[in-house]
């Protein structure tokens, strides 16, 4: 439990250190864009251009447009029908007053008359003359503002109706009511009431009357009369609906689109020496050019970088990846992220400083992709791709660089993997380099940038070649610095031209041939249980390297000579045999063979008994101690060293068994069972992660391999000399 806490604490320390390094180095080597102190209305000390596309809202113009839109909204009114009725009744009352003005009624009261409830008052009725009628109407409050000419027209028509039993006055009243009703239905408010009255008087409406009336009174005088009566009675009949009006104004205001000012990459934001307006100030602020409370690129990058490293910590912990359990690989991944941040930030910085935006297409980010794909694994490459994209965002937010960072860091994983050899890697490096200009073209075409395609393709090709060739040249050194042994390195160790193998072949040819056969057996068996076949083969090739110190003391190197052990005691012989393990480790370090490989030297015998010398000593000394005849090695701790132990023992046993007798399927199976049972019963698999299912598969693999090795051969007849 404590070791688990220590592991997490160590990883967190790594993450914090490298996160701080990424942030510090990125913005120390490549300082962020120029920061200035400036306000609206100040004169710009330098010219500024947009590093990328941006949209800025013109708040002032947007507010002005909203205000104009709100002002264009007309007030909302509702019509009060009770007011309409009052106006019509007013017109009616005026015509009634004209009719009543025909006569005058005077109550006659004598001093001697006694007035009671049942007494009928005596009234004197007198027909008034035209002048008297006009005078009476003029004195009425209803006609206080009506012209005398209009009153004369009304009196003349009224008297004509009385004398001729006609109804012209009633027709005129009906037409006045109709005209007034139409006007009222359109709505009248306080703002347009006076104007409407003046308009009616100055432009009297046309009347729908009988032609006989026009013979009596000229049409113009009749129209003027009706217009004055209507104008006199008109009042405002509209009520302002403030809530509805305000809602409509708000809806109109909300529907106004904001005024957007667009700045494309390299567009001039402000010229040196010109006064800064609000739009320019907001744009400079968005790009991080301003000091004070504005967020700069450097401060904005902090949460992004923190998120990247936190994501790496939790991802590898969650999946319990091999990188999580290997500090050296974890440190390599963090180092690659640091290198990626320098590449991306540097490319962004120089493309802006030199005003050569197409330089971003030459970003050498595929360097980290090649190293990751070769020395780590696909999961690490995917995390590196995501991190590179986010680092590009933190380094300046250039969309093109963001896409290039994400794609080019994962691109090498399409062509190479961790089990690739140097020859194939050299070939694939060319493919990766040729693919970068294609990807650059795709991003260039998508962004529709205005520089030439030739610049994009050449920059992409040169950047890819430089990055990938550098990765190819430095992989061996990176592997050595971080002490990581990958299949790339293992394939080099298994090369027959390796100095260690050449030395083994020269000093102990028999052991060399034995090692090759053991390598074949271990390779095939590893494949069937998904162990690392490359590692098993490399272990097998070097497992007996220590025999070169005393080659003739081992049976496979004693061709045509006597066995030196015949003259030695069993203890002396066992000490010589035992020493080939320690001698082998010394030689492995001399030839710079990785520890993971020379573990095969340490574990290929485990601490098993040297059976031949033990049994020989037991004949003379039945109380012999087994520990005196055990190897100095360590019991196998991995699948690969377990397979190596079985393959080594089997190859020696079969070579000895089938030297003097023919091999067949059953005999080979018996030898396999014998070796496996001996190792298992001796406790050699106590520390091995191998399962019983794996053991069955390994046995089957050994059976097929040994049958191929010891197949039956045809006996050729003796050669006879022909006469």
pLDDT of residue 396: 59
| Contact predicate 81/106, CB 8 Å | no
- Cα torsion 434, 438, 443, 446 to 10°: value is 180
Phi, psi of 57 (to 5 degrees): -85, 130
| Contact predicate 245/76, CB 8 Å | yes
Give SS3 for 123: strand
Contacts of 504 (CB under 8 A, 6+ apart): 511, 512, 515, 541, 542, 544, 545, 548
| Contact predicate 586/606, CB 8 Å | no
Give the residue from 270, 275, 268 showing the smallest Cα distance to 43: 275
pLDDT of residue 718: 55
* Mean pLDDT of the residues in the chain: 81
How many Å apart are CA 231 and CA 59, to the nearest integer? 49
| Contact predicate 263/269, CB 8 Å | yes
Contacts 24+ apart (CB under 8 A), 164-172: 168/209, 168/210, 168/212, 168/213, 168/216, 169/95, 169/98, 169/99, 170/95, 171/209, 171/210, 171/213, 172/95, 172/207, 172/209, 172/213, 172/222, 172/225, 172/226
Residue 99 is encoded by which pair of tokens? 């009719």
Contacts of 689 (CB under 8 A, 6+ apart): 637, 638, 639
Question: How do 122-127 and 54-57 pair as beta strands?
Answer: unpaired
Residue 332 is encoded by which pair of tokens? 């390599």
| Contact predicate 583/549, CB 8 Å | yes
How many Å apart are CA 486 and CA 491, to the nearest integer? 9
Given a cut of 50, the residues of the chain with pLDDT beneath it are 34, 292-295, 714, 716, 723
Beta-bridged to residue 56, according to DSSP, are 261
How many Å apart are CA 70 and CA 64, to the nearest integer? 10
pLDDT of residue 295: 45
Residue 385 is encoded by which pair of tokens? 């791709």
- What is the pTM for the complete model shown? 0.54
Residue 350 is encoded by which pair of tokens? 């120089």
How many Å apart are CA 528 and CA 78, to the nearest integer? 91
Contacts of 668 (CB under 8 A, 6+ apart): 654, 703, 706, 707, 710
pLDDT of residue 379: 81
- Cα torsion 61, 67, 72, 77 to 10°: value is 160
CA 124, 130, 132: angle at the middle one, nearest 5?
A: 55
Residue 57 is encoded by which pair of tokens? 């809202």
Contacts of 618 (CB under 8 A, 6+ apart): 624
């Amino acid at each position: 439990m404590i070791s688990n806490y220590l592991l997490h604490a160590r990883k967190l320390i790594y993450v914090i250190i490298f996160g701080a390094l990424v942030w510090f180095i990125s913005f120390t080597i490549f300082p962020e864009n120029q920061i200035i102190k400036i306000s609206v209305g100040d004169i710009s000390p330098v010219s500024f251009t947009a590093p990328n596309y941006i949209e800025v809202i013109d708040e002032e113009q947007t507010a002005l447009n909203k205000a104009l839109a709100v002002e264009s909204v007309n007030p909302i009114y509702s019509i009060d029908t009770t007011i309409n009725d009052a106006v019509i009744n007013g017109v009616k009352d005026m015509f009634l007053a004209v009719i009543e003005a025909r006569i005058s009624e005077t109550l006659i009261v004598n001093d001697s008359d006694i007035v009671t409830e049942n007494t009928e008052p005596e009234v004197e009725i007198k027909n008034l003359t035209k002048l008297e009628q006009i005078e009476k109407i003029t004195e009425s409050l209803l006609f206080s503002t009506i012209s005398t000419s209009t009153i004369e027209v009304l009196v003349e028509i009224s008297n004509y109706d009385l004398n001729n039993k006609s109804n012209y006055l009633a027709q005129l009243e009906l037409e006045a009511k109709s005209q007034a009703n139409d006007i009222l239905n359109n709505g009248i408010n306080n703002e347009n009431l006076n104007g409407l009255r003046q308009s009616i008087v100055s432009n009297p409406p046309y009347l729908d009357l009988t032609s006989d009336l026009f013979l009596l009174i000229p049409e113009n005088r009749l129209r003027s009369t009706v217009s004055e009566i209507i104008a006199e009675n008109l009042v405002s009949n509209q009520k302002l609906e403030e809530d509805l009006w305000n809602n409509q104004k708000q809806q109109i205001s909300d529907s106004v689109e904001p005024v957007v000012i667009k700045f494309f990459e390299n567009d001039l934001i402000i010229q040196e020496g010109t006064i800064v307006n609000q739009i320019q100030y907001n744009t400079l602020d968005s790009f991080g050019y301003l000091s004070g409370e504005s967020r700069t690129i450097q401060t904005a990058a902090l949460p992004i970088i923190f998120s990247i490293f936190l994501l790496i910590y939790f991802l590898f912990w969650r999946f319990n990846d091999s990188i999580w359990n290997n500090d050296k690989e974890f440190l390599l991944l963090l180092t690659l992220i640091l290198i990626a941040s320098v590449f991306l930030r540097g490319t962004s910085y120089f493309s802006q400083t030199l005003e050569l935006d197409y330089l971003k297409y030459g970003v050498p980010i595929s360097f980290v992709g090649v190293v990751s794909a070769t020395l780590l694994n696909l999961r690490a490459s995917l995390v590196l791709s995501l991190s590179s994209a986010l680092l590009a965002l933190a380094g300046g937010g250039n969309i093109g660089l963001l896409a290039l960072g994400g794609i080019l860091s994962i691109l090498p994983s399409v062509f190479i993997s961790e089990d690739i050899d140097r020859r194939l890697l050299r070939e694939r490096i060319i493919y990766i380099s040729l693919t970068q200009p294609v990807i650059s073209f795709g991003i260039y075409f998508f962004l529709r940038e205005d520089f030439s395609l030739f610049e994009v393709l050449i920059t992409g090709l040169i950047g890819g070649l430089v990055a990938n060739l550098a990765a190819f040249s430095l992989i061996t050194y990176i592997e050595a610095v971080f002490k990581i042994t990958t299949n790339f390195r293992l394939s080099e160790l298994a090369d027959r031209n390796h100095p260690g193998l050449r030395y083994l072949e020269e000093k102990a040819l028999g052991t060399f041939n034995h090692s090759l056969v053991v390598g074949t057996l271990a390779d095939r068996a590893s494949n069937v249980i998904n162990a690392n076949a490359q590692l098993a083969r490399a272990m097998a090739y070097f497992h007996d390297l220590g025999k070169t110190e005393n080659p003739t003391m081992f049976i496979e190197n004693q061709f045509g000579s006597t066995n030196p052990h015949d003259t030695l005691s069993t203890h002396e012989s066992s000490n010589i045999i035992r020493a080939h393990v320690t001698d082998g480790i010394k030689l492995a370090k001399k030839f710079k063979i990785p520890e993971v490989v020379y573990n095969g030297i340490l574990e290929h015998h485990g601490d098993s008994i040297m059976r031949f010398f033990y049994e020989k000593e037991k004949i003379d000394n039945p109380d012999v101690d087994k520990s005196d005849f055990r190897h100095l090695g360590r019991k196998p701790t991995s699948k690969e060293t377990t397979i190596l132990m079985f393959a080594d023992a089997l190859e020696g046993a079969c070579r000895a068994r089938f030297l003097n007798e023919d091999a067949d399927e059953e005999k080979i199976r018996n030898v396999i069972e014998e070796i496996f049972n001996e190792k298992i019963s001796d406790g050699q698999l106590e520390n091995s992660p191998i399962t019983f299912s794996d053991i069955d598969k390994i046995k089957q693999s050994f059976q097929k391999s040994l049958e191929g090795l010891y197949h039956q051969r045809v006996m050729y007849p003796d050669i006879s000399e022909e006469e």
